[in-house]
C-alpha cells in the first residue's frame, strides 16, 4: 500500500478567491470591525471555512486510507493470538499408526502361530529335527536362471548344427523340442517325482515314484541316444536341407535313428548327446533342490515365513512412520514460527507504521493549516489597519487562531484508528512481546512433541515385546 500524503494547500489562491485585500481595505474604510467586535469579519470567516473544508477533505481521505489497514491489523492480531500448534492432532495421527500396526501384528501373528504348529506337526509326522529350507528371492532367481540358461544354450547349439541339414524352420522347432525334453521335463520330474522317491519313508507311493524315476532315466537316456543318432544322420548327409521325415526314412543318409547302434556316429554327435544327458541331469538336480527337498515341507513353512516377514516389515515401518510424523512436525513447527516472524509480525509493523505515519503527518498538516489561517488574519489586519483612520484595533486581533482539540488531535480526529497508533517506537515493544510469546508457544509445542515421542517409543516397545521377533 502506498504511503499516504496530505494534499498541499495554496493559501495565496484562497486569498485571491476570497478577495482578501479589497475586502480588508473596504472594512477599514468603514471602520470595521469595531473596537468591541468579538466575531471575525466576513472575509476572515470565509478564509477559515475554505481551509476547514480542505482539512475535512483530507480527514476523509485519511480515514478511507486507514480503514483497510486497521482491518488487516485486526486480522493479523487474531492470527498471531490464536493457537498455532495442536499436539492432539499429532497424538491422533500417531494413535492411528499404532492401531493399524497393532491390527497387522495381530493378524500376521495368528497366521504365523497357526502355520508354526502345522510345521511342527509335519516335523513330528516325518521324523524331522530341522527347519524347512526357505527360498529367498535371490535363490529363486538363481535356480530358475539355471533352467532358463540350460534351455537357451541347448536350443541354440542344436539349431546352429541342424539348420543346414534340415532347414532353419525345422531346425528351430527340433532344437526347441529337444531342449524342452531335456531341460524342462527333467526339471518337472526333479521337483515332483525325485523329491518323493528319495525322501518318502517306505510306502507304496515311494515305490511308485522310484519306478517312475527308473522309467524316466531309461527314457531320457534312450531318447537322447536316438536324438544323437538323428543329429549324426543330419550332419553326415551331403545334399541340401531335408525334412525330418526324409532323413529318418531315407537309406541314403543312414538307418533309422531309433536303431542308433546302426548309425555312423561322429565325435560331434557323441559330444552333443553327452551334453543333452548332462543338461537333463543338471536340470533334475536343480529342481530337486528348489524349495525344500522333502515334498510339501517347504510349502508348509511358506505362509509362516511370509507372516514372519510381514511382522518384521510392520515393525520396521512402524518405527519409520512414527519418526517421520515427528520429524515433519518439528520442521513444520520451525517453519510456522519463522513464517509468523517474517510475515505476520513484519506486516504488523509495516501496517502500524502506516497508521503512525498518518497520525504524525496529520500533526504537521493541521499546524500548517493553523499557520495558513493566522497568515490570512494577519494579512487582513495589515490591509485593514493600512486604510482605516481611527487607529482602532479590536481585541480579538491579538488572539491567534487555533483549532479545537477535536480537530487538532489525531487521536480525536481518527477515533476508529486510535487503538492502532503507536507513538514513537512502542510498536517494537509489542512486537518483541509477541515474538517472545510465539517462541514460548513453539518451545512448549516442541516439549510436548518430545514427551509424545517418549510415550510412542514405549508403546512401540510393548508391541514389539508382544508380537515381534526381535
Nearest of 297, 158, 292, 146 to residue 224 by alpha carbon: 158
Q: Report which of residues 56 and 208 the model is more confident about.
A: 56
Q: Is the peptide bond before 33 cis (omega within 30 degrees of 0)?
A: yes
Point out the least confidently predicted range of 90-94, 106-110, 400-404, 466-470. 466-470
Q: Which residues, including other chains, have CB under 8 Å from residue 354's CB and lie 6 or more apart?
A: 1, 3, 4, 69
pLDDT of 295 over the 80 cut:
no
Cα torsion at 385, 388, 391, 396 (round to 10°)?
Answer: -50
Residue 275 · residue 154 · CB < 8 Å: yes
What is the pLDDT, as a whole number, of residue 253?
45
Please enumerate in sequence order all residues whose Cβ is within 8 A of that of 152, keeping only pairs 6 or more positions apart, or say none: 179
Q: Give dist(CA 102, CA 463) in Å, integer.
A: 7
Per-residue pLDDT of 341-372, as tens digits, reads 888 889 888 999 999 999 999 999 999 999 99
pLDDT attached to residue 85: 85
Residue 293 pLDDT level (bands cut at 50, 70, 90): low
The pLDDT confidence band at residue 63, using thresholds 50, 70 and 90, is very high
What is the average pLDDT across 338-342? 85
Higher pLDDT, 7 or 424: 7
Rounded CA-CA distance 470/467 in Å is 9
What is the C-alpha radius of gyration for the chain, rounded to an integer number of angstroms?
53
pTM of the predicted structure, to 2 decimals: 0.58
Tens digits of residue pLDDT in 195-221: 777 777 777 887 888 888 889 888 888
pLDDT, tens only, 106-157: 988 888 888 778 777 777 777 667 666 666 656 667 777 777 887 777 777 7
| 89 vs 233: CA distance, rounded Å | 83
Q: Are 387 and 25 in contact (CB under 8 A)?
A: yes
Q: List the Cα angle 345/349/353 in 5-degree steps.
A: 165
Q: What is the pLDDT of residue 252?
A: 47
Classify residue 183 by burial, with Cβ atoms within 10 Å: 0-12, 13-18, 19+.
buried
Q: pLDDT, tens digit, for every residue of 211-247?
A: 888 898 888 888 777 777 776 766 665 544 444 445 4
Structural domain boundaries of the chain?
Answer: 11-84+318-467, 136-290
* H/E stretch holding 23: helix 20-29
Cβ atoms 450, 326 nearer than 8 A: no
Amino acid at each position: 500500500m502506498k504511503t499516504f500524503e496530505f494534499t498541499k494547500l495554496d493559501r495565496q489562491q484562497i486569498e485571491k478567491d476570497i478577495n482578501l485585500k479589497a475586502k480588508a481595505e473596504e472594512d477599514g474604510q468603514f471602520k470595521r470591525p469595531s473596537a468591541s467586535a468579538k466575531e471575525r469579519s466576513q472575509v476572515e470567516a470565509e478564509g477559515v471555512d475554505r481551509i476547514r473544508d480542505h482539512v475535512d477533505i483530507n480527514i476523509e481521505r485519511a480515514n478511507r486510507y486507514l480503514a483497510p489497514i486497521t482491518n488487516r491489523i485486526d486480522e493479523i492480531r487474531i492470527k498471531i493470538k490464536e493457537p498455532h500448534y495442536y499436539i492432539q492432532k499429532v497424538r491422533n495421527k500417531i494413535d492411528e499408526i499404532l492401531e493399524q500396526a497393532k491390527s497387522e501384528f495381530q493378524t500376521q501373528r495368528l497366521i504365523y502361530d497357526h502355520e508354526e504348529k502345522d510345521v511342527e506337526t509335519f516335523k513330528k509326522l516325518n521324523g524331522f529335527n530341522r527347519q524347512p529350507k526357505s527360498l529367498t528371492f535371490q535363490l529363486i532367481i538363481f535356480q530358475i536362471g539355471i533352467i532358463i540358461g540350460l534351455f537357451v544354450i541347448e536350443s541354440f547349439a542344436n539349431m546352429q548344427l541342424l539348420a543346414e541339414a534340415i532347414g532353419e524352420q525345422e531346425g528351430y522347432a527340433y532344437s526347441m523340442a529337444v531342449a524342452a525334453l531335456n531341460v524342462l521335463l527333467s526339471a518337472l520330474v526333479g521337483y515332483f517325482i525325485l523329491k518323493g522317491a528319495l525322501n518318502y519313508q517306505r510306502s507304496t507311493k515311494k515305490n511308485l515314484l522310484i519306478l517312475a524315476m527308473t522309467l524316466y532315466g531309461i527314457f531320457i537316456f534312450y531318447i537322447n541316444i536316438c536324438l544323437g543318432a538323428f543329429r549324426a544322420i543330419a550332419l553326415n548327409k551331403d545334399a541340401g536341407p531335408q525334412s525330418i521325415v526324409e532323413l529318418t526314412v531315407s537309406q541314403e543318409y543312414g538307418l533309422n535313428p531309433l536303431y542308433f547302434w546302426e548309425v555312423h556316429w561322429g565325435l560331434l554327435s557323441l559330444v552333443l548327446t553327452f551334453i543333452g544327458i548332462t543338461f537333463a541331469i543338471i536340470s533334475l538336480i536343480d529342481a530337486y533342490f528348489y524349495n525344500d527337498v522333502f515334498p510339501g515341507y517347504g510349502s508348509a513353512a511358506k505362509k509362516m515365513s511370509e507372516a514372519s516377514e510381514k511382522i518384521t516389515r510392520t515393525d520396521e515401518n512402524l518405527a519409520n512412520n512414527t519418526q517421520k510424523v515427528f520429524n515433519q512436525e518439528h520442521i513444520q513447527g520451525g517453519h510456522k514460527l519463522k513464517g509468523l516472524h517474517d510475515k505476520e509480525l513484519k506486516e504488523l509493523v509495516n501496517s502500524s507504521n502506516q497508521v503512525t505515519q498518518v497520525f504524525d503527518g496529520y500533526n504537521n498538516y493541521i499546524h500548517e493549516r493553523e499557520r495558513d489561517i493566522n497568515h490570512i488574519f494577519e494579512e487582513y489586519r495589515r490591509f485593514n489597519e493600512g486604510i482605516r483612520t481611527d487607529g482602532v484595533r479590536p481585541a480579538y486581533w491579538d488572539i491567534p487562531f487555533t483549532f479545537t482539540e477535536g480537530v487538532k488531535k489525531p487521536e480525536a480526529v481518527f477515533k476508529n484508528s486510535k487503538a492502532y497508533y503507536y507513538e514513537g517506537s512502542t510498536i517494537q515493544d509489542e512486537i518483541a512481546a509477541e515474538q517472545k510469546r510465539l517462541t514460548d508457544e513453539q518451545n512448549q509445542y516442541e516439549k510436548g512433541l518430545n514427551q509424545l515421542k517418549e510415550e510412542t517409543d514405549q508403546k512401540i516397545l510393548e508391541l514389539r515385546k508382544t508380537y515381534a521377533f526381535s
